[in-house]
Every structure is written in structure tokens, then in C-alpha cells.
Amino acid sequence: MKHLCLASFLLLTSFAFSQSTFNADTYSVSRNDIATNTYTNDSTAAALVIYEYGNSYIDRDTYTLKTEIKKKVKILNRNGFDRATETIYLYNNSKGKEKVSKIFATTYNLEKGAITKTELKRNEIFEEHYNDQYTLVKFTLPNIKEGSVVTYSYQLETPFIYKYHPWEFQDDIPKLYSEYNTSIPGNYDYHIKLVGTQKLDKSESKIVKNCLSAFNGSTADCANTIYVMTNIPAFIEEDYMTAKTNYLSRLEYELKVLRGFDGHVDNITKSWKDADNELRSDPNIGRQLRKSTSLKEEVANLLTDTQNSFTVAKELYTYVQNNYTWNGDHKIFSDVSIKNLIKMKSGNVSDINILLHNLLDEYGIDVKPVLLSTRENGLPTQLFPIISEFNYLIVQANINGETYLLDATDPYLGFGELPFKCLNHYGRLLDFDHGSSWVPIEASIPSSTHYQVDLKVLGETVKGDVKARYIGYDALSRKKAFFANKNDYINHNADRQSEITVTNHDVQVSDKNSEKFHETFDITLNDSNITQDMVYLNPFIFKFFTENPFKLQQRTYPIDFGHKKSYLYSVQIDFGDTYDIVEVPKPIQAKLPNDGGDIILNTTVNAQKLMLFFKFSLKNSLYDPEHYELFKQYLNKVLEVQQNSLVVLRKK
């Protein structure tokens, strides 16, 4: 109970502190709003939304959806000047178009101790054609300075009510107060989804009778809801994340059922059973999945063991990889034709992977297509089917009790390996006989990089040999560079570190889609710090990180590496009978919470040799944002080990 009271007290005092200088309660501009030029909770912020308000409702007369928007923004420094420009996107098609009206905007400044107001003029509002579907309305508030406060309001009107106006609580600048009011008639049934990690401070609903009426005397009641979120941190993108849309805190609406005043019921949002039926008969998916490849005779000579299902699957997979080229098109629901792919030898994602699916099926392999959304495209909703959210298609194969996820668009992928962009947590397995289902999308094996270094101190030089082994995604980039131009790869590898000279470079890799990439080479250290009596040597000739990728004060979304991975570094230093050891790196052992990873550094001395072993592992692909600060410390420790480790030898 003490902890609960303390947490409540801290929450209240935090909010009160934010409110003490800025007027976050209303749209009105106070002197403090203009005079206060810092935001303590985020010293990096260039601008701050002090107050914003939205109100959406179905108009009683026009039956269109209207949304009133008000916003008050503080410009903290010059980097925030772009916040004085508002761009409104208006959608249009053959059935109607969206409109904006009642635009009012004002800039407030303090000049010689007095508050001045500069209002936006009508001729400062511009409209321009964006594309066939959108028109832009833009305006920039006048007289902007560091410290200005701007307010603007307008009303949107749309006939497209299937998607109730969404509301973004979070932006890439912080917000003190964000409120959204909705009035939804009972005959409009929406899926309502709160996305993101931020929590609502207020969510209250009440029923308002007879808010909407029809010509025949029918009426509908409305659910009026108020949503409030306060002290919202800025959303800043950083490395190791998927699409921003997965985490940006917002409300989204999708019309599920529309009940007309005449009694007609229109089911707008389909069930997955409905979606499966539509996909089964779809000419680009379902019908193509039933097409014959007419390639059995061509590939028959390539198969070395037709009695072994796994061997057959791998050889068919390699055949498709090497004979058909992906054209870079992600449009998986249009212009799909197995016949054209076989003829032209090039096609989109669906072309290539449906061909793979059909070939495997013709040879008795249990296969199903899987729809997914790539990491940059965002996560598809799992509440109901929105087929447009998917932009990729792969194949699931079940062979001898094992499940493999296959994508033949990249000739460098190993069997069961997906492009990194596909590692987006889950996809939809299409099974037209038993119904589709969600399946996890994960890397088939952990990735790793392992350097094994053998050094020897020879007079005034240090020489040695290196064995480098890469597995999974760490091997993928190496394979692509090597097979693209072997000479360039070896030359680049020799030049990539000025501290060493590389000779006798040899690569051991069987083929393009091998899971592993091995290479060996000899090295000479160019900057050996050897004096007449002493040797100073950093044993980390190769470094896994050059800087800490985690730099934010606070991260509100998960750390998503996409796959598990580990880094291993082992070095043996032969110092002969000429030197004694004076200093070696101190041992380290640290773990991430919930056994999510570890750092291990050990050194041992055996006769005339020093052995050092370093391991840095990430045992999960996804980590909660609550561990962000620990991750920063974790990576700092890795950098410290790489940069500051020192072996000191003294001549006997």
C-alpha cells in the first residue's frame, strides 16, 4: 500500500509540475505559455503541444462525419519552426470528397513585455493537388520566433464513414494534454483499437438519446466518449525497431456493421472465414495456387533422391531461387501469373513463391501459403481481416515432422531462412480446407559471429592468423558481397582496418544459399605498441560495435533485433619465454534480466600463452522497453571491453 501511495503521489506531482508553467487545461493562451521556454521533462524537445482537442460526430442533417480540431503548440527553439506549418490531407474518389473549413490560426509572442497576436490571413491558406486520391491544404502561421505559441483550429468533413476519424495521441514532439471526443450512433458498429504503449488517463462514455434521426421517423442513440492522455513523451525512432505505426499511441476505427434506418444490415468488416472464401476464388491468389507448373519434366533431372522429401524440397527450392528473379514488386494481390513468370523468368513476390508452393505440392510436399507484413509495413491487426495490410507472401512446408518457412525471391537465402524484413512476429497461414490461422514468423536459427585469433609476439611485431565464422543473417551479407565480386570482397576485407595488414585470405563457403560463411587470413598488426622492454596490446583486433545504438533518454517501444544472436571472440597470445605478464583484462560476468543475454570475459594463462574468451549474447529477439536503460549499460560495457582491454607484457 505504501508503494501504491508513493506511486500515486509521484504521478500527481509530475502532472502538477507539468501544469505549473504551461496552461494545459484549455485552448486559451496564457502569459506563462509564452514566457516559459523550457520543458523540463524533455530537454531535447524543439516544440511542445500544450493542448489539443478533437471532437468527431455524425452530422444530423448531412449524415457526414465531422471532426473539429484545436491545437496549441509551443515553439521552444528554431528546430521547432516546422511545427508552425499544418498540412491537411483530403481524400477524394468518384463517390465523394473530403472538405476542410473554419480554419483559424494565431501566433502569440511577447514583445517588450506585452502579448502580441498575429492572425493567419485567408490568402495564406493554400490548396494543391497531391495525387489522384489526395488534395493538400497547407498553411504556415506568421511571425514565428523562438518562444512563440501558435494556435489553430479547423473542421473536417468526410462522407467516408467506414473509417471513423483516427486520433494520434503521440507524435515526435511531447504533448501535455490530448483529448478526443467521439459521438457514435448505435447503428454504426466500429472496431475500436488503442495502439501503442501509452495509457489513457481518462476514458468515459455515456448514452445520448435520439442523437440522429431519419426521414421515416427512426432515431438512433449515440455513445459519447471522452478519451484523455496526458504527459505524452515524444516518439523518437531509433535502431532495432519495426514500423513506427506499431507503437505510435493512437485510436483507430474500422466500421464493422452499418444498420440502416430502413432495417438493412451491411456487414462491412468480414470474418476470416469470409476472407478465406474470397482469397480461395481470388484470381491472383487462390486460382494461381491451383495452377499446374508444367515443370515436372524440366526439374526431374535435377532431383538426386526422389525418395527423400527433404532433399527434394531443398533442390526444388534452389531451382526456383536460381532460375527466377524477383522484380522488386511487393504488390502481392495484383498481376500474379505463374504462366507469365515461367515465360519471362521474372516476377513479383507472389509469382515466385506461389510457383515454389505449386512445385513442392506437385512432389507431395505438405505446403501452405502464408500472408505477412514486412517490418517496415507494420503489424497486421489480429482482431479482424484487413487484407490490404499484408504485403508479402511466403510458403510454409511441413517435412518429416519439421516446419520450414520458405522464400525463393533471394538466391542467397538458406533453406528455411527468410529475408530479415519478413521477421515481423506473425503471419496468416492460408488453409482453404480447415480455415486460416496465425503462425509465428521467426528466424530458423540464431545468428552469430565468431572470431578465433591466434597471435604471436615476434620481436617488434605481432603476427597471427584469424578464423572467422558467420552463421545466419551475419553470414548473409558476407555471402552477397563475396559472390557479387570475390576479388573486391577479399581486397575490401584486407583494407577494412588500417590497424592490420591482411594476407593469405581464403573463403570457405559451399554455395550461395549456405547457412554458414567461413574465412581465414593472416594478419600483421601495424600499430603494435612495443618498446624496448614493454608490449601494450589491445587483444580486440576486431570489434562488434563502434558506438552504442541506444541514445534516447526514454524509449517507449520494444527493442526488436528480429532474431537471436551472439558474438564470440577468442584470442590466444603467444609471448614465448621473452616476456612476463604484467596486466590482463579483468574478468566480467553480467546478465540481462530474465536470462535475456549475458556478457562473459575470461582470461587464463597457460605456460607461455594467454587465452582470452569474450561472449556477448542476445538470447531473445524482442525486449521490453522497461529494460532500455539496462540495455544502454549493457552495450556500454561491451564498448568498454572492446576499447579499453589491455594486455601488458614486460621483457624478462
- Minimum mean pLDDT among 25-29, 216-220, 608-612: which range? 216-220
Domains of the chain: 23-267 (2.60.40.3140), 272-441 (3.10.620.30), 447-651 (2.60.120.1130)
Report yes or no: 438 and 428 within 8 Å, Cβ to Cβ.
Answer: yes
| pLDDT above 80 (res 288) | yes
pLDDT higher than threshold 90 for residue 139: yes
- Helix, strand, coil abundance in the chain, percent, nearest 5: 25, 40, 35
Q: What is the pLDDT of residues 487-532, one digit of tens each?
A: 888 877 655 666 788 899 999 988 898 989 999 999 998 877 888 8
Name which of 399, 398, 343 is nearest 370 in CA terms: 398
How far is the C-alpha of 324 from the C-alpha of 322, rounded, in Å?
6
Per-residue pLDDT at 583? 93
Question: How many residues belong to the chain?
Answer: 652
pLDDT band for position 296 (50/70/90)?
confident
Q: Nearest CA to 234 among 244, 243, 219?
A: 244
Work out the average pLDDT over 72-81: 97
Q: What's the CA angle centered on 84, arms 90 and 114, to 5 degrees? A: 140
pLDDT higher than 60, residue 469:
yes
591-615 mean pLDDT = 92
Residue 498 confidence (pLDDT): 62
- Taking residues 329-340, what's their average pLDDT? 92
Question: pTM score, two decimals?
Answer: 0.86
Segment 50-61 mean pLDDT: 96
Name the more confident of 578 and 424: 424
Buried b (16+ CB within 10 A) or exposed e, 398-424: ebeeeebbbbbbbbbbbbbbbbbbbbb
| Cβ atoms of residues 610 and 575 within 8 Å | yes
In the structure, what pLDDT confidence band is assigned to residue 19 with cuts at 50, 70 and 90?
very low
Q: What is the pLDDT of residue 201?
A: 97
User: What confidence score (pLDDT) does residue 607 get?
Assistant: 80
Strands 47-58 and 175-185: parallel
CA distance 432 to 274: 11
Residue 18 clears pLDDT 80, i.e. is over it: no
What local confidence, expressed as pLDDT, does residue 20 receive? 54
Q: If DSSP codes are grouped into helix, strand and coil, which group holds residue 453? A: strand
**pLDDT at residue 4 in the model:** 35
pLDDT tens digit string along 411-422?
999 999 999 999
Higher pLDDT, 525 or 367: 367
Rounded CA-CA distance 353/427 in Å is 15
CA distance 27 to 18: 16
**Quick one: pLDDT at residue 5?**
39
CA distance 652 to 649: 9
Lowest mean pLDDT among 31-45, 445-459, 488-502: 488-502
Measured between alpha carbons, how far is 182 from 197 in angstroms, rounded to an integer?
22
pLDDT at residue 197 in the model = 85
Residue 120 scores a pLDDT above 90: yes
- Per-residue model confidence (pLDDT) at position 10: 35
Q: Which bin fits 364, alpha (ψ -120 to 50), beta or left (φ > 0)?
A: left
Mean pLDDT, the chain, integer: 92
Burial of 559-586, coded b for 16+ CB within 10 Å and e otherwise, reads bbbbbbbbbbbbbbbebeeebebeebbe
Cα dihedral angle (188, 191, 196, 199), rounded to 10 degrees? Answer: 60
pLDDT at 163: 85
* 3-state SS track over 369-424: EEEECCHHHCCCCCCCCCHHHCCEEEEEEEECCEEEEECCCCCCCCCCCCCHHHCC
Handedness of CA 27, 29, 30, 36 (dihedral sign): positive
CB atoms under 10 Å from CB of 34, counted, come to: 18
Which segments of 448-545 does DSSP mark as H helices, in order?
Answer: 473-484, 486-495
Q: What percent of the chain is modeled with pLDDT above 90?
A: 78
Lowest mean pLDDT among 118-122, 198-202, 623-627: 623-627
- Asked whether residue 179 carries a pLDDT value surpassing 70, the answer given is yes
The pLDDT, as a whole number, for residue 494 is 57
Place 17 in a pLDDT band, splitting at 50, 70 and 90. Answer: very low
Judged against a pLDDT cut of 80, whether residue 206 lies above it is answered with yes
Q: Residue 12 and residue 230: Cα distance in Å, rounded?
A: 11
The per-residue pLDDT for range 234-273, each reduced to its tens digit, is: 999 999 999 999 999 999 999 999 988 888 888 887 889 9
Q: What is the pLDDT of residues 522-571, one digit of tens each?
A: 999 887 788 888 999 999 999 999 999 999 888 889 999 999 999 999 99
Using CA atoms, how far residue 471 sits from 462, 468, 516, in Å, is 29, 10, 5
Question: According to the model, what pLDDT value does residue 9 have?
Answer: 35
Q: pLDDT exceeding 70 applies to what percent of the chain?
A: 96
Report CA-CA distances (Å) from 142 to 81, 107, 137, 152.
11, 7, 16, 12
Note the pLDDT of residue 261: 83
Q: What is the pLDDT of residue 392?
A: 97
Per-residue pLDDT, 315: 96
